[in-house]
Chain A
Amino acid sequence: MNSIRFVRTLCPYCGCGCGITVCEINGRYLISPDKSNPVNAGKLCIKGRYLNQLLEALKDRPKSPMIRRGEKFVEVSWRKAAEVLARELRRRRKDSSFGFVSSAKCTNEENYLMQKLCRMLGSNNVDHCARLCHAPTVSALSRSLGSGAMTNPIDDIAKADCIFVVGSNTFEQHPIVATRILTAKDRGAKLIVADPRRNATTRNADLHLQLYPGTNVALLNAIAKVVVERGLYDEEFLSRNVSGFEDFLSFVSALNIDDLSKTCGVKREAIERVAELVSQRAAFVYCMGLTQFSSGTDGVTALANLALITGNVGREGCGIFPLRGQNNVQGACDMGALPEFFPGYARVNEENAKRFGELWKAEISGEKGLTLPEMFNSKEIEAMYIMGENPAVSEANCNKVRKKLSSLDFLAVQDIFFTETAEFADLFVPVASWAEKEGTFTNTERRVQRIRKFVNTNFPSDLEFISEVSRFLGFNFPSTPAEVFSEIEKVVRQYRGLGEKIDSGEAFWGGKILYSNGFSTPNGKARLFKVEYRAPAEKPDECYPFILTTGRVAFHFHTGTMSRKCNSLAEEVNSTFVEISERDSERLGVKRGEVVRVVTRRGEIKAKVVVGGIKEGVIFLPFHFSENPANALTSDALDPLSGIPELKVCAARVEVVESE
């Protein structure tokens, strides 16, 4: 008898959270887009399209946990692995000399347990890669609006009259969002894109603002000034919903547009035109090109200011749209896998520590823990427990991170594949992939969706493994996603009552549109903050004359752990390149396809030259390729408010490699 079974689940890559339909036919799998999932309605980007190749790649991974004995790894059982990990953590419980790295690739339930485990051990040293992407979103939007999240559902972008994209290559990285932009454009909406590069997104733009990396605040302030000067602001909205407008007025009136225009490299006329456009019904879309700076929080704040003064928050067809990279960044933040927040964005302080202590029946610390970069800088951290992340490639200045990883007394890495980070591990624990477990993910628009198991396996899920570890520590966490989710519903304010809505596909926390009835700040009003432009930590100079910025290509995902194992994606692009403007390439005397050396104060890599439409004086590297890691070059200067490293700008030089 033939067996055919259908399972509806999600694409595991990005924050869009597209639905897929998996058909299992006699133990083989056919993956197609899910037409009834409202997020993608039958569409998938190229990464989702080749998910079957990822399934193939999953067959080729370590079959059991491994413990380091000298130079070699020996295989152990999962039970043994859990026992060893529990022992190492217990040993360091007294002085909290451990760090937990949770994962935006894992489910809500897994993140919840991960941070709970860390906190029940008396420490808040738990963080995850949101620190490298949307930490400024959390720090800026939660003080400006109340919650660090996308204000409206993705579909609202299609209803806007103007879409202002800052630092996002939406057409390559979030194609499912780009679909909405095109729907809006077909209706006559205007698209403005601020990006130093010319790429698939800027090609579709009506107005491309080719600014210098790291000057977003200057650009956004200049636009705000024009909005104010021309009286384009929404007076009624401001007086009812926003505080701090008086101060903001005097702040912008002191600004000089020509200075700002010179700083960011965008002409005054363009700035004026943008001001006119964004004062319509406008959607503000942004991504890493606004956050990954030492002024990341300021950048997001400046954008929020602009959205607020134009009255574009709290109603349909407009809003602020931080696009999430990982499929569950939103969820991992909601679950409190952050050193400064307990679940549900309860700030880490004595009062909340007491509350969670009562809930969890344990002694919980009220002291803020270490962020990811702080863990890698700290001498106190002796052991790390890393789940589903690859900091050896993804962190800024990754050579330094690698040094720290190799100097740790104990490193446990729990992942689906044996990653570059796992090379440093004392204990490696292979776990179930997204195809082999159940749980929920929260996509970029705060929509909580289920993933469903369709491949049978004997790998435990992250959740089962954490739960096993907890048993060795005497905590006895539940071991099914359903049990954990019902605990989440009790503990995380935003998730209350969402469980029953999930199957309808409309489980948005906070409702579809945030702030339609006031803001979630203490006084119910949004707040404008004055943010001055601050230059990036490194400026180009004689020795390092270029500004280096980093990013992604359409075909790969982050450190390539998953996407580079898919042949069809690897066939598109599979090695690093450096994009240089035409003028600069002529000046350097390098041609397309030649190999050059890119050097910064922290390291150097080789890359093939691509001549493109990038701004003069700026060069670009993708960060997917671990054999030539762009992050060996990037700067680890931090944003003081959010702790995000300045991945998007540093000074660099390009050296011609003499042919050997």
Chain B
Amino acid sequence: MSSISNVNNTGINSIIELFERWLKSMKCVRYEGVSGECKTVSLLRKALSGFEVVTSTDGYTASIVKGEALKFDFSGNPNIAKFLYELRTFGLNDQKVVLCRPCDARAIVELCKRNQLEREKLVLIGVYSPESCKRRDYCCVRFSDFDVFLFEVEAESNGKIVLVFMKKYVCEADGKDGKMDVRKVLSRFEELEDARVLEPEEFLKLLKSCIEELERVERLLDSYDGSNSDENLKITSYFERCMKCMGCVYECPICICEDVCMVKGIGRGEVPPPPQFLIFRMLHVADSCVNCGQCDDACCANIPISRIFQKVQRKYWRDTGFVPGINYELSPRMR
């Protein structure tokens, strides 16, 4: 279904290439919307009212909504990928429109590859705005497998606007065969008062600002690479802080083993547990950590776990060309 395949060399060029390829199968709507409120939020509120949506927003007010006004606060509450996984284990396997951030989506992709979720049953709406992505600076590659992607950018004199990228193929699909009528979701974005489908030239111009933003992030990411010595990442001294709260295991969307190793095995009854406690998990997710940052958020010891894992992982990316959450195959065979 998707044209995205193994990326042979990562780095900004391949990401742009990937992005462009992805965009070829897309159309784009520009949204200016009301002033005052976060543009992405006002757009979503208008477009999604009435749908059953699983949001990664404040769980209390509106996480699964039917016809109510949505409250979006982007706190990532609950952890959406893990939540979808849990829903499945509760036997809830019906179709859903899922509103999520790039990091959430990467985790969803990895879970699909591991046969834990069914991609066909999800319409993924991606959000990228200053409010939604608090850890943008660490977020590695954020275009994965969205059906709709909302990109909030600075546009010339107009201040902030939201670009809505939609997959053409989904727009063309119909609602038969028991499949969710995603067309309905997508057409909403086009029909909004303040929205306008873009002509190719304007589209390309705006695209440039997106790419600039990506380049900035890519540069930042390079500074976490193992080759750059980052004084702040003294791995062992970080690991010795661990208070064994188990947050990193239970919040990680990739840690889904039935018999959770860290609980059964290392350092039973010890605080802090031996460093192997964390190293064990690091090895288990070395190929699949999607750098979503859920473990960092959950860590009582404030260990920048995802950054440490990234440091190890980026070497693996470079060697194999495999980027978890982006590439569709499981890890490549070692040559």
Bound complex: CA of A206 vs CA of B92, how far in Å?
50
Report chain B residues within 8 Å CB of A335. Answer: none
Chain B interface: which of A39-47, A74-82, A295-303, A516-524? A39-47
A172 to B241, CA, bound (A): 11
Interface size class of B (residues with CB under 8 A): 35 or more
Write out the residue numbers on chain B whose beta carbons fall within 8 Å of the beta carbon of A176: 300
CB-CB under 8 A from B86, the residues of chain A are 23, 30
On whether A44 and B298 interact (CB within 8 A), knowing A49-B245, A171-B243, the answer reads yes
A249 CB-CB contact with B under 8 Å: no
* Residues in A13-60 with C-beta less than 8 Å from chain B: 21, 23, 25-26, 28, 30, 32-36, 41-46, 49-50
CB distance from A567 to the nearest CB of B (A): 10
Contact: B298 with A43, CB < 8 Å? yes
**A8 and B58 alpha carbons, distance in the complex (Å):** 10
Contact A49 B271 (CB under 8 A): no
CB atoms of B77 and A555 under 8 A apart = no
Contact with B along A545-572 (1 / 0, CB 8 A): 0000000011100000000000010011
Q: With A and B bound together, what is the CA distance between A203 and B237 in angstroms?
A: 11
B302 touches A4 (CB 8 A): no
With a cutoff of 8 Å between Cβ atoms, the chain A residues found around residue B204 in the complex are none
A23 & B243 in contact (Cβ 8 Å cutoff): no
Cβ of B59 and Cβ of A43 under 8 Å apart?
Answer: no
CB neighbours (8 Å) of B246 from chain A are 46, 49-50
A8 CA to B211 CA, complexed, in Å: 39
Which single member of B240, B241, B245, B301 contacts A46 (CB below 8 Å)?
B245
CB distance from A187 to the nearest CB of B (A): 11
Q: Are B92 and A2 interface neighbours, CB within 8 A?
A: yes
Known A46-B244, A203-B240; contact A32-B302, beta-carbon cutoff 8 A: no
Question: How long is the Cα–Cα vector from A8 to B78 in the complex, in angstroms?
Answer: 11
Q: B19 in the interface, Cβ–Cβ < 8 Å?
A: no
- Are the CB atoms of A21 and B94 closer together than 8 Å? no
Closest Cβ neighbor of A554 among chain B residues: B271
Closest to A21 in B: B59
Interface string of B80-106 (1 = CB under 8 A from A): 001100110011101000000000000
The answer on a CB contact under 8 Å between B247 and A43 is yes
A-chain residues with CB within 8 Å of residue B243 when the two chains form the complex: 45-46, 171-172, 175, 178, 200, 554
A66 CB → nearest B CB, Å: 36
Decide: A6 near B272, CB < 8 A? Known: A49-B246, A49-B250: no
Asked whether B90 lies within 8 Å of A183 as measured between CB atoms, the reply is no
Q: Are B299 and A43 in contact (CB under 8 A)?
A: yes
Given contacts A25-B87, A43-B297, A49-B245, contact A34 B77 (CB under 8 A): yes
Q: Contact at A21–B60, with CB atoms within 8 Å?
A: yes
A179 near B300 with CB under 8 A, answer yes
CA distance A132 to B252 in the complex (A): 39
One digit per residue, 1 when the CB lies within 8 angstroms of any chain B CB and 0 when it does not, for chain A 166-207 equals 000001100110110011001000000000000110011000
In the complex, whether B76 has a CB less than 8 A from a CB of chain A is yes
Query: Is residue B269 contacting chain A, with contact meaning CB distance below 8 A?
Result: yes
Write the B51-87 contact mask toward A (1 if CB under 8 angstroms, else 0): 0000000111001100000000101111100110011
Cα(A554)–Cα(B78), bound, Å: 26
A32 touches B64 (CB 8 A): no
B292-310: contact bitstring with A at CB < 8 Å (1 yes, 0 no)?
A: 0000011111100000000
A8 lies within 8 A of B241 (CB)? no
Which residue of A6, A43, A183 is within 8 Å of B245 (Cβ)?
A: A43
When the two chains form their complex, are residues A32 and B60 in contact, meaning their CB atoms are under 8 A apart? no
Contact with A along B241-278 (1 / 0, CB 8 A): 10111110011000000000001100011011000000
Contact assessment for A182 and B90 in the assembled complex, using a CB-CB cutoff below 8 Å: no
- Interface residue A7 (Cβ < 8 Å from any Cβ of B): yes
Cβ contact within 8 Å between B302 and A6: no
Across the interface, do A21 and B78 meet the contact criterion of CB distance under 8 Å? yes
**Is A657 interfacial (CB 8 A cutoff)?**
no
Q: Does A482 contact B (CB under 8 A)?
A: no
Q: Are A8 and B244 in contact (CB under 8 A)?
A: no
Question: Distance (Å) between the CB of B151 and the closest chain A CB?
Answer: 24
B78 engages A32 (CB within 8 Å): yes
Min CB–CB distance B140 → chain A (angstroms): 21
Q: Which B residues are CB-close (under 8 A) to A555? A: 269
Interface string of B17-48 (1 = CB under 8 A from A): 00000000000000000000000000000000
Q: Contact mask A281-294 → B, CB, 8 Å, 1/0?
A: 00000000000000
Name A25's contact: one of B92, B94, B244 (CB within 8 Å).
Answer: B92
Find out whether the CB atom of A204 lies under 8 angstroms from the CB atom of B241: yes
Q: Is the beta-carbon distance between A175 and B300 smaller than 8 angstroms? A: yes
- Asked if B90 and A28 sit within 8 Å, CB to CB, the answer is yes
| A23 shortest CB reach to chain B, Å | 7
In the bound complex, do residue A26 and residue B247 qualify as a contact, i.e. CB atoms below 8 Å apart? no
* Chain A residues within an 8 Å CB radius of B301: 175, 178-179, 182
Across the interface, B300 reaches (CB within 8 A) one of A25, A178, A199, namely A178
> Is the CB of A573 closer than 8 A to any CB of chain B?
yes
Q: Which of B59, B240, B263, B269 contacts A8 (CB 8 A)?
A: B59
Contacts of A41 in B (CB 8 A): 297
**Cα of A126 to Cα of B60 in the assembled complex, Å:** 37
Q: Please name all residues of chain B whose beta carbon is closer than 8 Å to the beta carbon of A21 when the two chains form the complex.
A: 59-60, 77-78
Residues of A within 8 A of B268 (CB): 571-572
In the complex, what residue of chain B is closest to A49 when comparing beta carbons? Answer: B246
- Please name 29 pairs of A and B residues whose Cβ atoms are closer than 8 Å in the assembled complex, sorted by A: A2-B94, A6-B59, A6-B64, A23-B59, A23-B83, A23-B86, A25-B92, A26-B92, A28-B90, A30-B78, A32-B79, A35-B76, A35-B77, A36-B77, A42-B251, A42-B297, A43-B298, A43-B300, A49-B247, A171-B243, A172-B271, A175-B301, A179-B300, A182-B302, A554-B243, A554-B271, A568-B263, A571-B264, A572-B268
- A-side interface residues toward B, CB under 8 Å? 2, 4, 6-8, 21, 23, 25-26, 28, 30, 32-36, 41-46, 49-50, 171-172, 175-176, 178-179, 182-183, 186, 199-200, 203-204, 553-555, 568, 571-573
Other contacts beyond A23-B86, A30-B86: 4, CB < 8 A:
A7-B60, A43-B247, A200-B272, A573-B269
Cβ-closest 3 pairs across A and B: A8-B60, A35-B77, A6-B59
